[in-house]
Homo-oligomer: A and B are copies of this chain.
Amino acid sequence: MTTVPTSITDGRALVDQAMRAAAERLDPWTRRVVAYHLGWTDEDGRPAAAGGKALRPALALLSARAAGTSYETALPGAVAVEFVHAFSLLHDDIMDGDRTRRHRPAAWTVFGPSAAILGGDALLALSEELLLDQHTRGAHWAARALTAATQRLISGQALDIGFESRDDVALDECLTMAADKTGALLACACSIGAMLGEGPTRLVTDLTGYGAEMGLAFQLVDDLLGIWGSPETTGKPVLSDLRTRKKSLPVVYALNSGRPESERLAELYTRPEPPSEDALREMARLVEAAGGRDWAAAEADRRIASAGRYLDDSGMDDVVAAEFRDIALFVTSRDH
């Protein structure tokens, strides 16, 4: 795996401290769920260290640098985007029935679905609260952008759930879903620091464009890992997205490719019974033979190139632009 760019690790302690301080505002019962979900505690409330990579806060802080503003100004935005991300994971795991998150039991399996619903609700409200506590025009801009990203995140999840019961999902719908579910919040993360710093609108637009393209690349790679990733990397069983017959981007590409393999793949995807290990291996071969794997990898590259063009056009500081480029490469070169 590529080395983690320093811009990701750089402000991590600052963000961690701010997140913990913000979570102190929650009532003890909800805080317990949130602390577990964020990896700060184990199931019994004892200190733990199991957090995620905190990609979104790192992007938020980097976007502050792009606008020439301080980390301190961007900090509420960094925490807010991570809280919205955490909210969506808490609720999605319940909806999707996912029992594992970051190699640990999902919060709803530990504390029950009610606690996880409330924990997510509290994080969503708290994210807005943190921004509104800043009485600046930039904070208003950031808060408005964050609610818009949240609505797209919700639409994307709704579309994704709808896909489960459909056998006619088109590639463009699937791309819309990924843009909403993954791209929108990453785009907000990449620009929220610049908004808080009241940077030029043009810079915010370019950072948003960069984040949306990088977000799609991120999802494409995630979908590749969901089929061909190793369990050590993904924390999930091999061929995991095929087990749940998820309509991920490479699969939907393959189903719509019009090649001979599409039909057999569609047949395996619509069988009522859970697929055997043999069937899973066959499905993976079919997705690859129908071009799904190559397309997804090439599309991720195209999106990264497109993300880079937003950086070129933005006129931002070269050092900061280089760090954004590093992050895009890091995100798409995860082990697959």
Contact = CB atoms under 8 A, between A and B. Distances in A.
Contacts of A94: 113-114, 117
A106 to B, nearest CB: 14
A26 interface: yes
Interface stretch (A154-162, A213-221, A244-252, A260-268): A154-162
A41 interface: no
A135 interface: yes
B151 A126 contact: yes
Dominant secondary structure at the A interface = helix
A278 interface: no
Contact of A129 (B95, B115, B148, B161): B148
A126 B128 CA distance: 12
Interface string A124-140: 11101100110100001
A129 B114 contact: no
Contact of A128 (B113, B121, B128, B162): B128
* Most chain B C-beta atoms within 10 Å of own C-beta, residue among A94, A155, A162: A155
29 contacts: A26-B151, A27-B154, A27-B155, A27-B158, A29-B158, A29-B159, A94-B114, A115-B158, A115-B161, A118-B154, A118-B157, A118-B158, A120-B121, A121-B124, A121-B150, A121-B154, A122-B151, A124-B124, A126-B147, A128-B143, A129-B144, A129-B147, A132-B140, A132-B143, A132-B144, A132-B147, A133-B144, A140-B140, A143-B143
Interface of A: 25-27, 29-30, 87, 91, 94-95, 113-115, 117-118, 120-122, 124-126, 128-129, 132-133, 135, 140, 143-144, 147-148, 150-151, 154-155, 157-159, 161-162
